[in-house]
A and B are shown apart, each in its own frame.
Chain A
Amino acid sequence: MNRAIRALSLALASVLAMWSPSAWAQDTVKIGVIEPLSGPVAASGNYVRMGAEIARDWVNAKGGVLGRKVELLIEDNKSDPKEAATAAEKLIVRDKVPVIMGAWGSSMTLAAMPKLEEYGVPMVVETSSAATITKRGNPWIFRISPPSEMEALGLEKYLKDLGIKQADFLAVNTDWGRGAVAAFGDTLKKSGASVGAVEFMDQAATDMNAQITKVKGGSADTLFLTTSVEQITLVLKQAQEQRLTRKVITTGGSSSPSQLIKQAGAAAEGTYHILFFLPWFPEAMPDGKLAKAFVDEWAKRGHPFEGLTEGFRGHDGVLTAVEGIRVAGKADPKAVQAALWRVNVMGLNGPIKFEKDGPAGKESGQSKPSIFIVQVKDGKIALPAFAAKK
């Protein structure tokens, strides 16, 4: 009797297993995605997710990869580094994903990185800018976003046209913010400009008046802003309240100027933004046709236009991960890691191809993205005259 029950329950369990989602997912290739879907930088994380979903649907419409459909397993890191590490572990151990894309913020990516090394799963880094990410000797990291140093070099050719003599910095108090201050500060000093006040703000801070008052006390002509679009909105509004007159340049590509125009209004006028995708001028992108198709698809899905400067990252990240799996020929972490070195694909930002970065023998992959600069002019986005020329 006892044995009969056991046999019966075993049969039942196997039937159940066949019906359960995990058995279903056997037919798909899983890609893990870690993004901040809630918390202070949730807007950006959600835009990246939307872009990732477009890439998934496009890949699946063309027959998927390895003859199977691509499935995204999306985890929320709650804008919190601890949660990013937990999410990475969950995706690797529970869902057994062969590759992950994430985790937006540098602090979140850095927190997830030891897990990649521990279990040996590659991650395509789509947004994070801190230099340390590819310098730590983690061979599972493949970054398609530019580190702050690369961004600063991209800006170098415009420094004369921008007329910067002295610049202040206001940055979020994270690995990204601190890294950007160091990188842009070095570039400025090299070109003969000086660095004035360097101020930081907590990621969740809403009142930046103290920092603005301090910056106002100095004599710089430019203010470099490195933080999320939410905080940039607040800084611009509060700077206007205090009559701070500075050339403002935002770094990191997450400033979404369209959202700033909408939420900060006149306070956004005249500001410059370093970006990696220009949805206003898709034809000016390296692959104009792809960019146009993405912008149209985004609009068709009813996603807000201001999210495009962030959403493209999700597309390029998933595209890279899928290409890695295709080149590898199997959905296995180790094989995908080796294959990512051979990926050469055209993304929305431009060509994606990894070069070695970091300590010898344990290099991370770093692609060399295109970098653009735009200005808010008369409540619209414009290519500055000097950038259009070059």
Chain B
Amino acid sequence: MDQLLQHLLNGLLLGATYSLLGIGLTLVFGLMNVVNFAHGEFYTLGAYAAFAALALASVNFFLAIVLAIAAGAVAGAICERCLLRPMRGQSIDTVMLVMIAVWIAMQNAELLGWGGVAKSVPTPFPTQPLVLGPVSVAPLRLFVFVVSGALILGAHLLLARTKLGRAMRATFQDRETAALMGVSIERIHTITFAFGAGLAAAAGALLGPVFLLYPSMGDLASLKAFSVVILGGLGNFAGAALGGLVLGVAEELGAGYVSSGYRDAVGFLMIVAVLLLRPSGLFARAERVG
């Protein structure tokens, strides 16, 4: 029983990180219809930016996270302005190829800049775990969990409740009408992509200290992010958040009670099942037409 509780807690903590990875991708995917293969690279960028701020400029840990998010958003904005804007109106496949190029270019730039040797990010949190009855949790993991939740909620509110969020949704539903209503279409495109990249960078800055930094760390992150988005349904914020938790818990229980060698297979089997049975995602409401 104690073991089950620990497994569930592990799964939720892991799942929250998957959710955080998923929301940035689902936003860009769902709203802009851009399959962002470079999502994991913005994640890596965030992690290295936090590392640079902490280890090289020795700023405060929390400020480093903010700086990393800013770095991710700026990189996202540049990417959108220079690469995606000229591609506007092209088919989704063409844009996808551009994003694959960005992925390869960014990953190799990271390898060139930082070298292949893993780096670890120092944190102000104590390494001794918090013990809660039969289970234990690292303070850093708890911090990541809380911040992930806050970021997901914040992003949701921004999209649902603010004028900017309304403009974003309007732009991608019907750009002509939105433009007629006085929305600056080009600006909205840039902001949305920067927002998605910023969320990925946030995930990197938060998870970098939990794990280790190395140039190819984004590959696994991308893979998990895509899984979460498929589970939750394209562009579905709550779906991505819940999808992440479901994937985290499923992997954890699969590894704990089936076989740890097939840990990742459990997650992918679930995705295959979802694609077969509920192709629009686990948490999609009735399909919207038009």
A-side residues, CB < 8 A to B, are 37-40, 42-43, 45-46, 173, 199-202, 204-207, 209-211, 213-214, 216-217, 230, 233-234, 237, 240-243, 262-263, 265-267, 304
Q: Find B129's partner among A45, A206, A241 (CB 8 Å cutoff).
A: A241
The B contact surface, by secondary structure, is helix
In the complex, A294→B6 CA distance in Å? 47
User: Could you list 18 examples of A-B contacts with CB < 8 Å?
Assistant: A38-B111, A42-B215, A43-B214, A173-B261, A200-B259, A205-B220, A209-B10, A210-B10, A210-B11, A210-B252, A213-B256, A214-B256, A217-B2, A240-B128, A241-B138, A242-B6, A243-B129, A263-B212
Task: Name the distance in Å between B254's Cβ and chain A's nearest Cβ.
Answer: 8
B265 smallest CB distance to A (angstroms): 10
Instruction: Identify the closest chain A residue to B216 (Cβ).
Output: A39
Q: Is the CB of A38 within 8 A of B252?
A: no
Chain B residues 37 to 91 lying within 8 A of chain A, measured CB to CB, are none
A243 to B138, CA, bound (A): 10
The number of residue pairs between A and B whose CB atoms lie closer than 8 Å in the complex comes to: 108
Name the A residues within 8 Å of B2 (CB-CB): 217
What A residues does B220 contact at CB under 8 A? 204-206
- Cβ of B173 under 8 Å from chain A: no
The answer for the CA separation of A211 and B115 in the assembled complex, in Å, is: 30
Partner of B215, one of A38, A173, A200, A209: A38
Residues in B110-129 with C-beta less than 8 Å from chain A:
111, 115-118, 120, 127-129
Task: Name which residue of chain B comes closest to A242, CB basis.
Answer: B136
For the complex, give the distance between the alpha carbons of A46 and B251 in Å. 32
| Cβ of B255 under 8 Å from chain A | yes
Nearest Cβ distance between residue A62 and chain B, in whole angstroms? 30
B137 interfacial by beta-carbon distance below 8 Å: yes
Q: Which of A200, A207, A243, A263 has the most CB of B within 10 A?
A: A207
Residues B261 and A43 in contact, CB atoms below 8 Å apart: no
Chain A's closest residue to B108 (CB) is A38
Q: Please, which residue of chain A has its CB at the minimum distance from the CB of B138?
A: A241
List the A side residues contacting B264 at CB < 8 Å: 202, 205
State whether the Cβ of B7 lies closer than 8 Å to any Cβ in chain A: yes
Task: Let me know if A263 and B263 touch, CB within 8 A.
Answer: no
Known contacts A201-B263, A207-B14; decide if A40 and B214 are in contact (CB<8 Å). Answer: yes
A206 closest partner in B (C-beta): B211
Using A213-B3, A213-B7, A240-B129 as known contacts, say yes or no to A42 and B263 having CB atoms under 8 A apart.
no
- Most chain-B CB neighbours within 10 Å: which of A42, A206, A213? A213
The reply to whether B127 and A240 contact each other, CB–CB distance below 8 Å, is yes
Kindly report which residue of chain A lies nearest to residue B121, judged by CB atoms.
A263
- Asked if B3 and A241 make an inter-chain contact with CB atoms under 8 angstroms apart, the answer reads no
A210 and B253 alpha carbons, distance in the complex (Å): 7
Partner of B211, one of A211, A234, A240, A241: A234
Question: Given A234-B212, A243-B131, are A201 and B260 also a contact pair (CB < 8 Å)?
Answer: yes
Q: Does B141 contact A (CB under 8 A)?
A: yes
Q: How far is the CB of B124 from chain A (nearest CB, A)?
A: 14
A241 touches B141 (CB 8 A): yes
A213/B10 contact (C-beta < 8 A), A37-B116, A204-B220, A241-B137 known:
yes
Q: Please give, as numbers and ranges, the residues of chain A lying within 8 Å of B131 by CB-CB distance.
A: 243
CA distance A210 to B11 in the complex (A): 8
A351–B138 Cα gap in the complex (Å)?
46
A252–B216 CA distance with the chains assembled, in angstroms: 24
Contact A42 B127 (CB under 8 A): no
- Report the minimal beta-carbon distance from B211 to chain A, rounded to whole angstroms: 4
On chain B, the residues within 8 Å of A42 by CB distance are 115-118, 214-215
